Structures are given as C-alpha cells and as structure tokens.
Amino acid sequence: MFSTKSNIMIGLTLALFLVISTVSAQQCTVDGTQYICTDVSEVPESLDPLTDSLIIRDSPNLTNIALLPAGIVSLTLDNVGVTNFDGNAISGVSSTLKRLDIHFASKLQQLHLQKPQEPSAAALEEIKIRNCSLFSDIDGISQYINLQSITITSTGLKAISECLFDGLGNVLFLDVSYNNYLSSIHENAFEDMHRLRTLNMSGCALRKLYGNYFNSAYESGSLQLVKALLNPYQCFEMCDFTTWYWKHTSFYKYSYIGSCTMVRYNNIYVYAVYDLNRYESGCPPLFWIIFGSILGVMVIMGIAACILVAVCQIDYKKYCCFWRGSRRNRRNSFPNGTAVNAEVDTYHFDFAGTHKTNVSMYEDTPPTYEELTVPQPTSGTSTNIPGGESQPTPSTI
C-alpha cells in the first residue's frame, strides 16, 4: 500500500517537472550560438551547452538581475522591466562577458558596475545603453580597462564627470548622442582616450565645447570622425574652442560641429553663426556688434527715407539744411564762367573817389574791371554810398 502511494507521488512529481520543462522550453529557444528567452521573470541559471550569448526580450516582469549564467559572452536585454542591475552579476562573469547591450529598458535608472575580480583580465569590450529614458547614472565603468566601444544614447543622462572614463585608453568608439538632458561634460572627461577614433555628441544640451575633448586623440593621430551637431551652443562661450579649432588645421576635415548663436537680452538673438566649420577664430567683441547694429539701422533708415522722398515727391531741398546755404557771397557758375542767381550785394572801393560804392551783380555777363573802377560821369546823378547820404558824382579828370 505504501509503495503504491510512493509510486503515485513520484509519478506526479515527474509529470509536474515535465510540464515546467515544456513551458521553459517554449520561453527559451536556441538560435545558433544565441540562447533567446521571451517573457521571462528571471534570468536562466545556465545556457545551452552550444550557446554563449543570452538574449532576453519582451519581459516586463524581469525586474532584477542578480546572477548571470557562467560562461556567458554576450548579454542583450530588450524591452525588459529591470529597475536594478546588480553590478556583482557582471563582476562574477567578468572574465568571459565581452558585450553588454541594454535597450528599451524604460524603468532602468542606474548601473553601478562592481570591480572585477581581476581588472587586467576583465573581458568586457562593449557597453550599449540605448533608449532608456529614466537612466541617468552610471558608475564603475572605468574599472573595465579593456573597453573599446561605449554607447549611451537617448537616455536621461545629465552630466559626464571628469573621472567617469578615467584610464580607458583602449576606447576606440564613444557615442553619447541624443541625451536631451546632457548639458555638462567635464573639460577633461576624454583626456585618457588617446586611441579614440569616433566621438559623437550630437543632439544633446551642450552650450559649449572644449578643445581638450579632442586634443588627446588628435595629437595621437587616431581621431577620424567627430559629430557634435544639434547642440544649443552659445558663441560667447565657444571662443576658447574656436581658438583651438583654428590652431589645429586638419580637425575641420573630419569634424561636424554645427552652429552657435549669440543671445543677448534674454531670448533676443542678436548674432548667429550657422556653420562653426567656417567660423573665424575668436568671437567678435561686443563693441563691434553694437556698432554694426547701429550702422545697419542707419543704412536701413536712409534707404527708407529715399523711398519715402521718391514715392511722396517731397521737395527735400526745402527741408534739408545742407541744401539751404547762406545767401551772402554765394555764386553758382556754369562751366563757361557766367553767373547765375547772383543776387548778393558786395562792395567795391572807388579808387578815384576814395569811397566805398555799392555794386549790384547781374544775371548776365559780369561788369568789367574798368566799369567798376572808373565810373562814367552823368550830370544830375549821384552815387549812393552805404551808410551815408547822396553825393554828387565826381567829374572825370
């Protein structure tokens, strides 16, 4: 009787184990060297003997990763609910894990990597964190000195500190693009990356660049491509970089920097440069900006005034002071020497009578010298002397 019950219990246990195994087999499949799991709540404890890569997809119930299977070479997490990634899980397989790829982990906020058991033997070469909107903190990455590729894009990352990438001299590719809140990268953040070939900082919130970002890789001759487009650079804060830029003449051949704007008085844009690749060294002084603005306004006002005069047919000679000359001693002549509009009175000394006479100028040919100096006598006439009374005309001697 007892043995019969024991056999029944053993049979039920085996049946339950077979059901669990069947469900697990349906959730994880083998594709070449990849072990692919879908809709799981925990990481498998081991891989298929023929696989070395683990891919976990569409698993919102997978919220914690505390342990990774031994011998794993590549780990990919796609659309999972992970909120905490225990750094010890990676350090436990640091001698074999070469690739870590996390994307569309919408709840992941941080990744703190623990020190590997043997830093020099750490196999990790590539880290990718993409499309994780809440992710804003990463630490301990500098302990994996064999890293060659780092990608942190479309996340909530806000700053890159000076020591985040310390000692990572083997990195060839760095992409921190399209982190919309990334507004601060320390001047010496990439100083140790002297083998860097590609650097992408496009689509962030950077207001300025530093020459030190590129100097180490530029001087070593390894730098091949730089992208830093679509950032809200401020021209006044880019002067140091543009000075460095024009001292390193070959940098422009493989760099795509983008545009900068000069903002004055809150949000009023006064000056804009649309292509920093053609931007001259240094930034224009504020004096020349104001002077140029005033000069531009004056030119526009002058053009507007000319249009107004032409359209309204205004007699500008009547209103413009430089067309209203003094009527005293004004003489306008044609090229042939004839006088016109000569209504101005002048004075002449009568040498014969030793007194001053009032002489009127005419619109026709001017009087000759003899007519002015030797007046013809006329009986019964008199000469009008300014300031005095009428006197008889002196007789001709």
pLDDT tens for each residue of the chain, 397 residues long: 445 656 555 555 554 444 344 334 448 999 999 999 999 999 998 888 888 999 999 999 999 888 889 899 999 999 999 987 777 888 888 889 999 999 999 899 988 888 887 877 889 999 999 999 999 999 889 999 999 999 999 999 999 999 999 999 999 999 999 999 999 999 999 999 999 999 999 999 999 999 999 999 999 999 999 999 989 888 778 888 888 888 888 888 899 887 776 655 455 444 444 455 544 434 555 667 788 889 889 999 989 888 888 888 777 666 555 444 444 444 444 444 444 444 444 444 444 444 444 444 444 556 666 665 555 555 544 444 444 444 554 544 4
Rounded Cα distance, 89 and 95, in Å: 12
Domain borders along the chain are: 26-233, 325-386
| Contact predicate 84/58, CB 8 Å | no
Rounded Cα distance, 128 and 283, in Å: 38
Strand 255-256 and strand 233-234: the pairing is unpaired
Architecture of the domain defined by 26-233: Alpha-Beta Horseshoe (3.80)
The per-residue DSSP string of 55-70 comes to: EEEEETT--EE----T
DSSP 223: -
What separation in angstroms does the CA of 23 have from each of 41, 228, 256, 262, 397?
13, 48, 52, 62, 149
pLDDT value at position 257?
A: 86
The torsion angles phi and psi of 132, rounded to 5 degrees, stand at: -115, 95
pLDDT value at position 262?
A: 60
Rounded Cα distance, 208 and 239, in Å: 9
pLDDT value at position 286?
A: 63
| Contact predicate 28/35, CB 8 Å | yes
- Reduce the DSSP state of residue 102 to 3 states and report it: strand
pLDDT value at position 234?
A: 83
Rounded Cα distance, 339 and 363, in Å: 6
Greatest Cα pair distance in the chain: 181
pLDDT value at position 339?
A: 45
Rounded Cα distance, 235 and 331, in Å: 57
pLDDT value at position 348?
A: 43
Number of H helices, E strands in the chain: 7, 26
